[in-house]
Structure formats: structure tokens, C-alpha cells
Amino acid sequence: MIAVTLRRPWLEARLTAPLRVLSHAPFGAGYRTTDLVLWREVRNAELAPDFPVEDWFAREMAARPGAVGMLTSRDVGTWAQARAAVDGVRAHCVLTLGLSNAESVGVRLPWHPADYGTINLLVATDAGLTEAAQLEALTVSVQARTAGVMAAGLQLASGLATGTGTDCVALACVPGAGRYAGLHTAVGEAVGAAVRQAVTAAAADWLRWRDAERAKR
């Protein structure tokens, strides 16, 4: 359902057809019809507090009209994916994941300039959904992301990590008449399974990477 191409510093996710994408991405947020979702890799040093990120990113995206764009300091070559199918409904999740910017929901940690890292994920389903049902499916994907992060067991001073301070989720679907996409539905199960599987595996990989980097010091 999603064809992925790595063209550093970009990761490109091409959908099988233009779909309705709902996201809170830094570029193209809200409901947007497109067949292209992009990750732009940036270095920590590029993200100074006074840097005009939104203006810069809009210029970067200008050559890709109509696309949805996300930003990450995680190596885009570490992208991961997972698929699920339930009762004929399919879902496919593609993501990049870093947890150096991790938080425990409800308690903010002090900001640190070196602590960038985020979860940026796209999940697509072939279920035809209303806008309201798509919003419900997006909440399921966020719940699945949180469950996958919590499975990593990353302990912070504020509690168990539940996500990062700059996570972004995008959900693509066919516009349709489906009114429900919660946990009792096939689409909710498929979306949740794909996202949870991808996040759980990627979080475990990130912990291994972090431990290896620490061992080098």
C-alpha cells in the first residue's frame, strides 16, 4: 500500500493512489488529498531555538506541491514498517523513530538542546471512511504508538516514556461511508496492529542503537 524510497535527506512514502491524509504534520496538516508523504532529516545543530523552522521547511517543500511533510533528526535510513489485515481490511505503517526527546504524558521534562528525536509515522488503510471515522482511526493509531513506546520500558525522571515531545502521526484512507473505526472494528484492529507492531520493533531497535552509542564513549 505504501512504496518507500530513500533519497537522503528525504524519505518518500508513495501511496498507491491519492488518498485523504489526516495529520498534524508541520507541513500539510489537517485533511489533505495526496499520494505523497515525506520525511526530511535534519541535524540537531540545524534546530536552534531561534531558527525559523516553518519558513525554511515551507521552502524545502515548495518543489513537492501537495505533499505532506514531516521533520526528524533520526537517520531516515532506519525507517521501519509493518502490515496487518483483519477481515479483509488492510493497514500498512511506515515510520522513523527516535526517543531521545521522550516524555511521559502529563509531566514535561526540562528542555535540553541536545535532546532531539521523535516518532513520525504514516499509516494507510484501504477502508473507506468518513472524516469523523478517519479521526477515530487516527486516535487508535496514537494509542497504538503509545502502547509500542511503553513496551520499550524507557524510564524517565518523570515516569515511563509514552512518546516524544514532537511526535507526528498521519493516517491515509479512501474517502467512504464507513462511520466507525474504533477498537471494536476491523479497521481499528488493523490500524492498531500495524502501528503497534512497527513502533514496538523500532523502539527496541532504537534502544539497542542508544546502548551501542553509549558503549563507544
pLDDT of residue 51: 83
pLDDT of residue 208: 97
- In which domain, by residue range, is 198 found? 2-216
Report CA 6 to chain centroid distance, whole Å. Answer: 16
Per the structure, the count of domains in the chain is 1
pLDDT of residue 205: 97
pLDDT tens for 44-60 read 777 777 789 899 999 99
pLDDT of residue 114: 59
Distance CA 17, CA 132 (A): 21
Residues 6+ apart with CB under 8 A from 25: 37, 68, 69, 70, 168, 170
**Residue 181: strand, helix, or coil:** coil
Residues 6+ apart with CB under 8 A from 60: 40, 69
pLDDT of residue 20: 98
pLDDT tens for 137-187 read 999 999 999 999 999 999 999 999 999 999 999 999 999 999 999 999 999
pLDDT tens for 96-146 read 999 999 999 999 998 766 566 899 999 999 999 999 999 999 999 999 999
CATH number, position 6:
3.60.70
**Residue 84: strand, helix, or coil:** strand
Are β-strands 68-72 and 30-41 bridged in parallel, bridged antiparallel, or unpaired?
parallel
Distance CA 147, CA 18 (A): 30
